[in-house]
Amino acid sequence: MKVGFYGHVRQYHNLKEEIDAAILEVLESGKYVMGPTLARFEKGLAAYFNMKHAIGCNSGTDALWLVFMALGIGVGDEVITVANTFFATAEAIWIAGARPVFVDIEPDTCNIDPTRIEAAITDRTRAIVPVHLYGQPANMTAIAEVARRHNLLVVEDCAQATGAAGDGVAVGELSDAVCVSFIAQKNLGTFGDSGGIVTNRDDIVDRIRALRNHGSLKRSHHSMGYNSRLDDLHAAVLSVKLKRIDEWNDRRREIAAMYDEGLRDTGLQLPVEKLGYRHVYHLYIIETEQRDEMLKYLNDAGINAKTHYPIAIHQQEGYPWGMPADLNVSLPLTERSAARVISLPMFPELTQAEIDYVIHIVHTWEG
């Protein structure tokens, strides 16, 4: 048996009629960039997050740096985040001209450890960027409390967690902005790249809207900007999929519960969902000392397991590039996690036979 890692094509086949019709409608409309289909999706996205404004852009990476630019974060500033995330979190800080400062993680959730943030704050610190890793929100209550005491901005990297929630705290409730990614493999994804920003701050919306469109809101250019728009074709696809995101996330949670139950007796470290949280399992991560051997074993058995992320950002060859960074940064828990993580197949379209097969094969591993 073969078990793939992504369900994009199955998802497309399940919704083919509706998606094809939505795409054709845009093709016939002739309005491909900044058209009514984008406006409709932005409305739907804001409503989904229960927030005031949503702005589409070209990618999750752009969403982050557009927010940093709009908030005035730039050269000379420091931004606190984690090193066990997709490279883009640090890149976006770097593109804005600022410097990422990495804080170690909670070993169970792999999210930023709020108790370690204070020690990383300097005169130059402007913002905290928690990453809701693997689909579970970071501890926003504790993060917002540190931010309030030190007068820092908070931008949520929610690229992996559309539809997730904290314990009594919604994503976006305690921050300046939320950044999402709609690249194909995310929980809510289109057939390519795009991203979005959701915020309740009236004062930065027009600035973000202008920045993504050459500094222009209507005709003239209010500022310098960039070209980072969400194509109407992608917006059409995303509007179709947005209606299903809760159902798909529920299915991910159901599969996670089956993995939890089936793998409980293996001695592997399984994901920890914090009490009262809604983890949406963008990824289902197990941890083992024999990461590489086990990964090969799973792959040889036809299971396309992967690892996210095998090398922490501060240990990547390409980091720091043209950036004055602290090369002596030590993040023992981040480094330990990076050496141990395996991502099992996790997407709503997995069949029962595939789920059972993954559980069975993991059981036959004698690590």
Ligand X SMILES: *Cc1c(COP(=O)(O)O)cnc(C)c1O
The nearest distance, CB 280 to ligand X, in angstroms, is 13
- Compute the distance between CA of residue 225 and CA of residue 211 in angstroms, rounded to an integer: 4
Site residue total, ligand X (CB under 6 A):
15
Q: Are 271 and 281 in contact (CB under 8 A)?
A: yes
Assess 46 for contact with ligand X (CB under 6 A): no
- Ranked by CB distance to ligand X, the top (closest) residue is 60
Assess 113 for contact with ligand X (CB under 6 A): no
* Stretch 71-90 residues interacting with ligand X (CB under 6 A): 85-86, 88-89
Assess 160 for contact with ligand X (CB under 6 A): yes
Query: Of 153 and 159, which CB lies nearer to ligand X in the complex structure?
Result: 159
Assess 136 for contact with ligand X (CB under 6 A): no
Query: Of 113 and 193, which CB lies nearer to ligand X in the complex structure?
Result: 193
Assess 131 for contact with ligand X (CB under 6 A): yes
- Let me know how long the chain is: 367
Q: Choose, by CB under 6 A, the member of 69, 183, 211, 294 that binds ligand X.
A: 183
Q: Do β-strands 125-128 and 153-157 pair in parallel, antiparallel, or remain unpaired?
A: parallel
Query: What is the 3-state composition of the chain as percent helix, strand, coil, each rounded to the nearest 5?
Result: 40, 15, 45
DSSP 216: B
Assess 157 for contact with ligand X (CB under 6 A): yes
Q: How far is CA 320 from CA 142, 150, 260, 348, 367, in A?
A: 29, 27, 38, 37, 36
The binding track of 303-332 with respect to ligand X, each residue x by CB under 6 A or -, is ------------------------------
Q: What is the DSSP string of 310-364?
A: SS-GGGSTT-SSSS---TT---HHHHHHHHHEEEEP--TT--HHHHHHHHHHHHH
Q: Choose, by CB under 6 A, the member of 7, 56, 60, 271 that binds ligand X.
A: 60
Q: Choose, by CB under 6 A, the member of 19, 26, 46, 61 that binds ligand X.
A: 61
Classify 102 as helix, strand or coil: strand
Quote the Cα angle for 20-26-32, to 5°. 135
- Compute the distance between CA of residue 187 and CA of residue 189 in angstroms, rounded to an integer: 6
Query: Of 179 and 255, which CB lies nearer to ligand X in the complex structure?
Result: 179
- Compute the distance between CA of residue 10 and CA of residue 348 in angstroms, rounded to an integer: 10
Q: Do β-strands 153-157 and 341-344 pair in parallel, antiparallel, or remain unpaired?
A: unpaired
Q: Which helix H or strand E contains 55, and what residues bound it?
A: strand 53-57
Assess 59 for contact with ligand X (CB under 6 A): yes
Query: Of 60 and 172, which CB lies nearer to ligand X in the complex structure?
Result: 60
Query: Of 60 and 166, which CB lies nearer to ligand X in the complex structure?
Result: 60
Query: Of 132 and 207, which CB lies nearer to ligand X in the complex structure?
Result: 132
Assess 111 for contact with ligand X (CB under 6 A): no
- Compute the distance between CA of residue 69 and CA of residue 47 in angstroms, rounded to an integer: 25
The nearest distance, CB 302 to ligand X, in angstroms, is 26
The nearest distance, CB 231 to ligand X, in angstroms, is 14
The nearest distance, CB 132 to ligand X, in angstroms, is 8
Q: Choose, by CB under 6 A, the member of 7, 189, 195, 196 that binds ligand X.
A: 195
- Compute the distance between CA of residue 214 and CA of residue 228 in angstroms, rounded to an integer: 8
Assess 156 for contact with ligand X (CB under 6 A): no
User: What are the residues whose beta carbons fall under 8 Å from the beta carbon of 250, sequence distance 6 or more?
Assistant: none
Q: Which residues bind ligand X (CB under 6 A)?
A: 59-61, 85-86, 88-89, 131, 157, 159-160, 181, 183, 193, 195
